[in-house]
Amino acid sequence: MLQEVLEYVRNRFVRSYHEGTYTILDGSLPLDFVKDGQRIWITGSDLNDGIYTYHDGGLITDDDDKEEAGLRDETFAGCVCALAVPPAVIALTEEIKTWVEKNSKAVNSPFQSESFNGYSYSLKSGSGQGDGAGQVGWQNIFGNRLNRWRKI
């Protein structure tokens, strides 16, 4: 969810870029430019592009949609960026995640309203992505609170 939020605000809070050839072995990627608990963004990898949290020489994904929690072994030429995501963004991301879990069934439903006495219904319009076209998603609900971190 964090990656989705950072993509939405077009801001990954990059502190520094480090291009080179990296080897991930046994799910671990030793880095000397990040601190324990700091988030990093890997790009240029065939198997591991994404945002991760760095822990004692190993990495654990923040992407809740992935089945695997860690990195897959590979050598790649790419970029590892040290991130400085504000704690307020992390907290808001957790709030968004909770909202999505609670409301995903209603958000993904094609119906805007239903009635059972004499049965009638109306369908939603729009794509269902919280695009303002008749549907409500986390972007509509939390967009104003996220705007302070948005980059143009």
User: If you write DSSP's letter for every residue of 50-68 in order, what string do you get?
Assistant: EEEEEETTEEEE--TT-S-
Is 51's pLDDT higher than 50?
A: yes
Residues of the chain with pLDDT > 90, as a percent, come to: 59
| CA atoms of 101 and 1, how far apart (whole Å) | 11
- pTM of this structure: 0.76
Q: pLDDT class for 74, splitting at 50, 70, 90?
A: very high
Amino acid present at 90: I
pLDDT at 115: 59
pLDDT at 132: 45
Q: pLDDT class for 133, splitting at 50, 70, 90?
A: very low
Mean per-residue pLDDT over the chain, rounded: 83
CA–CA distance from 22 to each of 19, 30, 50, 149 (Å)?
9, 9, 15, 30
Q: Quick one: average pLDDT of 4-18?
A: 96
Is 39's pLDDT higher than 80?
A: yes
